[in-house]
Structure 1
Amino acid sequence: MNVFDIIGPVMIGPSSSHTAGAVRLGRVVNKLMDGNIPKEVEITLSGSFAQTYMGHGTDRALLAGIMGYHSYSPEIRDALKIASDRGINYSFKKENIKGAHPNTAVIQYELDDGTIGFMQGASVGGGNILVNQINGMNVDFNGDNNTILVMHEDKPGVIASVTNVMHWKYAELNISNFHLSREEKGGNAIMTIEIDSLPPETLIEDIRELENVSNALLIRRL
């Protein structure tokens, strides 16, 4: 247990689960969008998120995170207006997602270039989060570690190519967790690679250049 677990995060808002955790979920989406501002965002809230999101500022917190703000950013208070001023068309809806954690949010976004993305995650207490779906595929990470997401085709040798690059060019990096998810055999897939330290930006560039890799993203420790 660390001090964060004991005293919780530094934050704006009344609730670590409903505000700080919501900001962190939004920040994952900000990373998935590579820092771009979306033109459309639809946020589905389930469980207690759906029941109390206005009173606890969960709506503002999620939008603030999507725009790249932190849990301690004073802009959270005005996130709805800031989003509107930036031309973000956002909406919220309630839905009972079967089997989901009580504080679950599903965030769907569209960028100006037509790119569409999807993330499902939950705020699990004390400002901590768990991300369990990206673009319809199962993942499993919490943002506590630097995380590399590799979107690729499910072809033989792709995993070896990525890990070989990491081994031969960035031997100082240590992989602490690895997870693979795929839509179907031979279809789209996502590698989730958690590492102990922050990698050089060149690692992401090198991975993006590999055959059958469509994109790679670094989600720095949140």
Structure 2
Amino acid sequence: MNYRSAFDIIGPVMIGPSSSHTAGAARIGRVARTLFEKQPKKVIISLYGSFAKTYKGHGTDRALVAGLLDFDTFDERIRNSLDIAEKLGMNVIFRPEHAVPEHPNTVKLTLMDDNNEMEIIGVSIGGGLIEITEINSFKLKLSGDPAILVMHHDRFGIISAVTSLLATYKLNIGHMEVARKEKGEMAIMVIEVDQKIEEKVITELKKITHVTRVIQIVE
């Protein structure tokens, strides 16, 4: 594993006994909320591997819900997140699963409101680090670091238009990948950049033909 700083080795500032089971879980929940772009009314949390076995004892349940409530890893409210979610009207259902995942700390979040539904699979890889590996059946890799998620129709020139716009604003791409289910259908770009992304860049990205949605992930 490649660590970006000493803090990745020491672990994050957090509430809870485990960087993988609590801090990582909170980050997965928070990224899921960002991708959904609102607090869901209902969420089904399917837990796999060690998450399924120890989620209550290690506070993974509280951490995931805290992230969905937009609490950071060090927020004292994590301890009471289940009660807070209930008071706010968010219906949370936990489902420990028996299937064997590729990574032991795996969770699938199905977020819903009256009009939308989104399915997100995330893994906690240690030290509070996470990866989002699937969004609505699109296979990808999203680390939770500052990034842009661009949803678009799979058409000629879209990738070039997006990267050219970023180049215009002198934004250096550190990592990029494109996922699609079928040729010519919907696709997703995951782009991690080295600099802060201004809101005007997001606004211009949304104006590109065939781009349907742009989401910025910011820690």
TM-score, normalised relative to structure 1 = 0.94
Gaps of 5+ in 2: none
Q: For 1:6 and 1:152, how far apart are their aligned partners in 2?
A: 36
Partner of 2:83, secondary structure, is helix
Q: Does 1:23 align with 2:26?
A: yes
Residue 157 of structure 1: aligned partner: 157
1:189 partner amino acid: A
Tell me, yes or no, if the aligned pair for 2:206 and 2:212 is still in contact at 8 Å: yes
**Residues in 1 aligned to 2:122 and 2:80: alpha-carbon distance in whole angstroms:** 23
Aligned mates of 2:18, 2:118 — CA distance in 1: 27
Q: Tell me by how many angstroms 1:83 deviates.
A: 0.6
Q: Indicate yes or no: 2:120 matched with 1:119.
A: yes
Give, in angstroms, the shift of residue 141 of structure 1: 2.1
Q: Please say if residues 42 and 90 of structure 2, whose CA atoms lie closer than 8 Å, have aligned partners that are also in contact.
A: yes
Measure, in 2, the Cα distance between the counterparts of 1:61 and 1:97. Answer: 22
Give the equivalent residue in structure 1 for 2:77: 75
Rounded to whole Å, the distance in 1 between the matches of 2:120 and 2:132 is 8
Among 83, 89, 92, the residue aligned to 1:90: 92
Amino acid at match of 1:148: I
Between 70-79 and 3-12, report the one with greater CA deviation: 3-12
What secondary structure does 1:5 align onto? helix
Matches of 1:137 and 1:96 in 2, distance apart?
23
Corresponding residue for residue 194 of structure 2: 196
Q: CA deviation at 1:143?
A: 1.7
State the Cα distance separating 1:189 from its structure 2 match.
0.6
- Per-residue deviation, 1:154: 0.6
8 Å CA contact 2:166–2:172 kept in 1: the answer is no
Show structure 1 runs of 5+ residues with no match: none
**Which residue of 2 is the match for residue 148 of structure 1?**
148
Aligned to 1:10: 13
Displaced runs of 4 or more, over 6 A: none
Q: CA deviation at 1:6?
A: 2.6
Correspondence for 2:172? 174
- Displacement after TM superposition at 1:17 (Å): 0.5
Q: Does 1:206 align with 2:207?
A: no
TM-score if structure 2 supplies the norm length?
A: 0.95
RMSD between superposed Cα atoms in Å: 1.1
2:131 aligns with 130
Letter in 2 for 1:77: R
Q: Is the 8 A contact 2:16 2:59 kept in 1?
A: yes
Q: Residue deviations 1:122-160, cap 9 Å, x none?
A: 00111111111011101112123x110001111111111
- Identity among equivalent positions (%) equals 45
Asked if 1:63 is matched to 2:65, the reply is yes
Classify 1:180/1:79 alpha carbon distance in 2 versus 1 (closer, same or farther; 3 Å).
Answer: same
Counterpart in 2 of 1:52?
54
Question: 2:105 — aligned with what?
Answer: 103
